[in-house]
Structure 1
Amino acid sequence: SNPRWEATLINARIRKQWWKGSGLKVGVIGPNVDLTYRADYLGAGPQTLKDVADGKHPFAQVLKDA
């Protein structure tokens, strides 16, 4: 899904935090779309989501440290 079109309020809040230079890290699972802010593309399939949830994906540490 693309939050620019499907969740505009959430997208605006993410972009605002990113623009402030807050160090916000954004990970994307799904289609690699232009979000207008920096985001780490993690993968497109359900296995990526499972790996993040199980702590096997490198981005899992980012979530753990948040």
Structure 2
Amino acid sequence: MEYAAHNVRVNSVHPGAAFYTGGIPMKWLASPEEVSYAVVFLASDESSYMTGTELVLDGGQLVE
């Protein structure tokens, strides 16, 4: 929050488990391309009002 007034946004991307699909409701691991889409979104103007966000890409694992 310290740099938000200077138009510096800090967000993070959290892909799910690296090798385990048993507890993932979607039953597959995110591909590198799927993770990169999230990164591109955060770097784009479409996310210009987002800061301090943790973008979880886990196929629904955390909600289970």
Q: Higher relative contact order by CA 8 Å / sep ≥ 6: 1 or 2? A: 2
Structure with a larger share of its residues in helix: 1
Does the alignment reach a TM-score above 0.5?
Answer: no
TM-score by length of 1: 0.26
- Structure with max Cα Rg: 2
